[in-house]
Amino acid sequence: MRLRMEMKVFLFEMEFRIRKGKKMKNHSKYKVGYFMPPSPSYKWVEKDHIDKAPIWCSVDLRDGNQALIVPMSLEQKIDYFKLLVKLGFKEIEVGFPAASETEYALLRTLIEHELIPDDVTIQVLTQSREHIIEKTFQSLKGAKKAIVHLYNSTSLAQREQVFKMSEDEIVEIAKEGARLFNKYAATMPETDFRFEYSPESFTGTEMEFALRICNEVIDIWKPTPDKKVIINLPATVSMSMPHVYATQIQFMSDHLHDRDSVIVSLHPHNDRGTAVADAELGLLAGGDRIEGTLFGNGERTGNVDIVTVAMNMFCHGVATGLDFSDMPSIVETYEGFTNLAVHPRQPYGGSLVFAAFSGSHQDAIAKGMKWHEDKGLSTWSVPYLPIDPHDVGREYEADVIRINSQSGKGGIAYILENHYGYEIPKTMREEVGYYIKDVSDKSHKELSPKEVLEVFLEEYVNYFSPIDITDISFSKDPSSTSSQDVRFNTVVTAEINGNVYNLEGQGNGRLDAARKALMTGPYNMEYTFVTYAEHALATESDSTAVAYVAIADKNGRVFWGVGTHKDIIYASVNALTCAINRMNKIAPFIAK
């Protein structure tokens, strides 16, 4: 046994040494693979925000679908198409019909069953090869309108390593595809066609060459302001910082032929984790259109996340044309179709994006929302919440303030007030907060609002042990001389440590009379009255009343009690009893 253990230790040490020697030292083999424009322009830097929404094109059914481990079935694709239409997409790429029977079947089903609304344009993709282009146009037979998307790869790496072609030969591929588009579209006058061209691997292409090949295609298609073409400039592989992509887009936008007849489209991928930034800066630099997917699904690290880009605009006051008002349902549907999970911290869509566990955050959010409510403001500026969770179908109570061991008094007080109506006095909140946080810490879990309430009720509300007042009556003391000097007598029936006592007292109020009656009992109860608060749990006349009482023992330690009852007087007596009982847990009563 010992020998085997020594051998395991030896092998572990050897493996560790081997791995220790394999550090990431190969950075020198990498170089910048992108190309800056010959005359960079940074006009886009002068803009501080996007002031209007782009044209949105969903590529979930093509680019997104081909990234799935198990691609969607025909039925799922049809349902997904309907979801995209419902969300407000007016352009939807449905597939590569000449390369996939499922995608061909989807296209024909959408057309033949008239599932494409009149204000929605379907988009299909094709390579620049005549038999593929011919089949692509045939697949669109009967469509009212369609975008046909032509692409061929243009990057230096693709030209040298894959195609082994010159620039002129690559340009000819694109030009031949453009001419074939004109040819086949002319045979189908019943369909309103729009053409799109992508210099695929644009970000790895010399900018002068990218401009040349796009302009050659534009010159063949001869667009007009009423019949625009789409020039799509994809970050097929993200290769640079976002400002470089924006500078490339600015160069292309400034030098494309017939710019007033061209829609500049962006298709950023997320290899460097900057697809959203690429899209936003690209729009500032002249982009008119975004191709992407819900929640960024796509090959490798994915496409640009249209939800994030659109919601970023939304929180700047821009009408996006897309409807994400029921985000939880959208996330659930998306996950069902794709079998992919939306990360809980995914911007806007994640289940925890509005959740605050930090005590200081919770306090600021609670105060901010209360301030907005009191002021009746129409604009949003709540701390830590860039948008109103209600705008995406989320609830404050369930989604914003979440309780665990990191939470604070403000968040816990917010839960108790907004869920259950308990308006915890400010001077009580710290104690309650620490108590409930401790429960969460010891149980190593988040507490649901219901569990927060249960902990609060068990510890603070109507806590009747060892003292339980089973009956109490009040009468006005006949010696009271004026309304300003009213005194009350009380008779209290109290069960203390299992024994029943009838106690009497007199005070300058009912609660004071009850307090003094208890002081006449068989036990020493040394305390002073600190503060009192009350409110109704609801606005109706027969609502439950809540009272909060704080007392201090001879050492100055404060103990809170909360009482509830239909009658506020009895609620206050219950609160006092509860406070005394909680004090007894720390320092048990001593018999007189």
Inform me whether the pLDDT recorded for 16 exceeds 70.
Answer: no
- Alpha-carbon distance values, 147 to 95, 279, 303, 392, 515 (Å): 11, 21, 20, 31, 82
Instruction: Mark which of 411, 443, 475 sits at the end of a domain.
Output: 443
**Which range is least confidently modeled, 313-322, 407-416, 498-507?**
407-416
In a domain, 297, yes or no: yes
Residue 100 sits in a domain of what CATH number?
3.20.20.70
- Could you count the other beta carbons within 10 Å of the beta carbon of residue 32? 9
Only one residue has tokens 């550090």, namely: 23
In a domain, 344, yes or no: no
118 compared with 587, residue with greater pLDDT:
118
Q: Which amino acid is present at 157?
A: A
Same domain, 297 and 368: no
Same domain, 293 and 406: no
What is the rounded CA–CA span in Å between residue 124 and residue 139?
9
Inform me whether the pLDDT recorded for 36 exceeds 60.
Answer: yes
Same domain, 156 and 243: yes
In a domain, 345, yes or no: no
Q: Which long-range contacts (CB under 8 A, 24 or more apart) does 500-505 make?
A: 500/470
Confidence of residue 338 (pLDDT cuts 50, 70, 90): very high
Q: What is the pLDDT of residue 543?
A: 82
Inform me whether the pLDDT recorded for 21 exceeds 60.
Answer: no
- Asked if residues 134 and 176 have their Cβ atoms less than 8 Å apart, the reply is no
Q: Which long-range contacts (CB under 8 A, 24 or more apart) does 251-255 make?
A: 251/37, 251/38, 251/39, 251/40, 251/41, 251/207, 251/211, 252/207, 252/210, 252/211, 252/214, 252/286, 253/285, 253/286, 253/287, 254/41, 254/286, 255/211, 255/215
Q: What is the pLDDT of residue 210?
A: 98
Same domain, 234 and 291: yes
Same domain, 264 and 200: yes
**Range 301-312 burial, b when 16+ CB lie within 10 A, else e:** ebbbbbbbbbbb
Domain of residue 417, residue span: 359-443
In a domain, 25, yes or no: no
In a domain, 301, yes or no: yes
Q: Tens digits of per-residue pLDDT, 214-269?
A: 999 999 999 999 999 999 999 999 999 999 999 999 999 999 999 999 999 999 99
Q: What is the pLDDT of residue 268?
A: 98
- Asked if residues 55 and 287 have their Cβ atoms less than 8 Å apart, the reply is no
Q: What is the pLDDT of residue 321?
A: 98
Count of CA atoms in the C-beta half-sphere (13 A) of 327: 25
Q: Tens digits of per-residue pLDDT, 441-497?
A: 888 888 888 999 999 999 999 999 999 999 999 998 877 666 667 888 999 999 999
Same domain, 372 and 409: yes
Inform me whether the pLDDT recorded for 541 exceeds 70.
Answer: no
Q: What is the pLDDT of residue 311?
A: 98
Percent of the chain with pLDDT over 70: 93
Q: What is the CA radius of gyration of the chain?
A: 36
Mean pLDDT of all residues in 421-447: 90
Q: Is 417 helix (H, G, I), strand (E, B) or coil?
A: helix
Q: Tens digits of per-residue pLDDT, 499-514?
A: 999 999 998 889 999 9
Confidence of residue 424 (pLDDT cuts 50, 70, 90): very high
Question: pTM (2 decimals)?
Answer: 0.78
In a domain, 543, yes or no: yes
How confident is the prediction for the chain on average, in pLDDT?
A: 91
In a domain, 4, yes or no: no
- Asked if residues 551 and 529 have their Cβ atoms less than 8 Å apart, the reply is yes
14 compared with 39, residue with greater pLDDT:
39
Same domain, 236 and 364: no
- Alpha-carbon distance values, 250 to 253, 255, 510, 520, 570 (Å): 5, 9, 79, 87, 74
Q: What is the pLDDT of residue 378?
A: 87
In a domain, 475, yes or no: yes
Inform me whether the pLDDT recorded for 142 exceeds 80.
Answer: yes
Confidence of residue 591 (pLDDT cuts 50, 70, 90): confident
Inform me whether the pLDDT recorded for 294 exceeds 70.
Answer: yes
Q: How many domains does the chain have?
A: 3
Same domain, 314 and 363: no
Same domain, 151 and 192: yes
Confidence of residue 93 (pLDDT cuts 50, 70, 90): very high
Q: Tens digits of per-residue pLDDT, 364-408?
A: 888 888 898 889 888 999 998 999 999 999 886 666 666 766 776
Q: Tens digits of per-residue pLDDT, 530-540?
A: 999 999 987 55
Residue 545 sits in a domain of what CATH number?
3.30.160.270
Percent of the chain with pLDDT over 90: 73
Supply the angle between the helices 306-314 and 275-284 in degrees, to the nearest 10: 50
55 compared with 508, residue with greater pLDDT:
55
Confidence of residue 284 (pLDDT cuts 50, 70, 90): very high
Same domain, 581 and 532: yes
Same domain, 373 and 314: no
Same domain, 432 and 497: no
- Could you count the other beta carbons within 10 Å of the beta carbon of residue 332? 12
86 compared with 8, residue with greater pLDDT:
86
